[in-house]
Amino acid sequence: MEHITDDLPAPRLGDRGLFPDLEAAVYLNHAAISPPSRRIQRALHACIATYAARGVEAFFTYNQQRAELRQDLAALLGADAGEIALTSGTSAGVIDVALCFPWRAGDRVVLFDGEFPANITPWQRAAAAFDLRTTLLPLEDYMRSHAPGLERLEATLRAGGVRLVAVSSVQFRTGLRMPIREIAALCREHGAELFVDAIQGCGATPLDVEADGIDYLACGGHKHLMGVEGAGFLYVRQARAAALRPNVAGWLSHEEPVGFLVQGPGHLRYDRPIRQRADMVEAGGWNALGHAALGAAVKVTLGLGVEAIHAHVAAYLDALEPALRERGFRSLRHPDPAGRSTLLCVLPPEGRDVVALHRALGARGVASSIPDGVLRFAPHWPNSQGELPTLLAAIDAALADA
């Protein structure tokens, strides 16, 4: 795959030079949607130009790019490329596993109260379809210390019948980084499998599917991976793949699915086996543009390093959090650095309307979000501590207005 970004400046921590069109003076909304950098825009333009020039021949060029993307995602996750399926995003991956898991009637699924609905609704629908039981455990147990939450989870697993635990690596409303490795160990001890929604962590908070003991992981590319909407991936541990039922299979899910289109007559068959790999869920036509953008984005992430990104953002939040406390905000950030992500979620000062406060910040060039009434700041590698005076001045003015 020809690389087309060599003339662009290299990404650097704290430098937003690759975002010349970004209007917000301080963009702290990467937990919602990251604005595409010039590298991502270049990858999108190259993809559409290739299809415009070559038509169907571009398929083969970008099929090679997809193979490269699998390799890069595997490197990012500590996985094997054969354990990666390319999808339209987090929800697609959750739905695929929910529908294809080898359920038995009466199985229990453990979920967490306070999760983003993308990691709740598909399991509820699977429960209705396959006669499962769902159990909701409180995330509040993990907020001051992980120990109470792990103790409650262990008691739930010990009670029996749990086939799968589904949890986010980072919680969208609080920024809580879940103890995934410890949760996985409890799952293994009690015969359950672990599904992780990684959309609020992957790309900015370290994660290793092998070391952490994760069985399934779904993620979209438009948040901390800084790609675009409509492109993501699903990880399935190879040891789990053979047991999945191909309930979402389509024509591309077969072994050797496209040979009949290029090998002449006599190759059209309907009995080719369904692949027993993660990419079984890749049922039909793909999002060539979205995955081209994701490929460029993952290369940036690998180049900078997730550990370095996480440390850079942690230093930013370490400087911002006390300034917010001084202004009367209540931080939901975990007291232990091991429980922290790149999200800083705060409750506004007493008597302040969070919706009005958010609107006032937006009017002053600060991009943030308010999931379920919490003011959320989510910086990333382009953010610099040099912008903090601008941010705090905007917060002071917004407080005066709100």
pLDDT tens digits, 309-352: 999 999 999 999 999 999 999 999 999 999 999 999 999 999 99
CB 113 within 8 A of CB 153: no
133 forms beta bridges with 108
Boundary residue ending a domain (263, 285, 302): 302
Calpha distance 279→85 (Å, rounded): 4
19 found inside a domain: no
Token pair of 206 as six digits: 């370290």
17 found inside a domain: no
Q: How many residues does the chain have?
A: 402
Judge if 269 and 395 occupy the same domain.
Answer: no
Calpha distance 288→286 (Å, rounded): 6
CATH number of 162's domain: 3.40.640.10
pLDDT at 7: 87
pLDDT at 267: 93
pTM of the model: 0.96
The number of domains in the chain is: 2
Is pLDDT above 50 for 291?
Answer: yes
145 found inside a domain: yes
CATH number of 350's domain: 3.90.1150.10
- By CB neighbour count within 10 A (0-12 exposed, 13-18 middle, 19+ buried), where does 313 fall? buried
pLDDT tens digits, 67-110: 999 999 999 999 999 999 999 999 999 999 999 999 999 999 99
Judge if 207 and 332 occupy the same domain.
Answer: no
pLDDT tens digits, 112-130: 999 999 999 999 999 999 9
Judge if 322 and 282 occupy the same domain.
Answer: no
pLDDT tens digits, 187-246: 999 999 999 999 999 999 999 999 999 999 999 999 999 999 999 999 999 999 999 999
Residues 6 or more apart in contact with residue 183 via CB below 8 angstroms: 150, 153, 165, 167, 194
Q: Residue 110 in 3-state DSSP? A: strand
Is pLDDT above 70 for 4?
Answer: no
Q: How far is CA 344 from CA 25, 68, 317, 368, in A?
A: 18, 34, 7, 10
Residues 6 or more apart in contact with residue 270 via CB below 8 angstroms: none
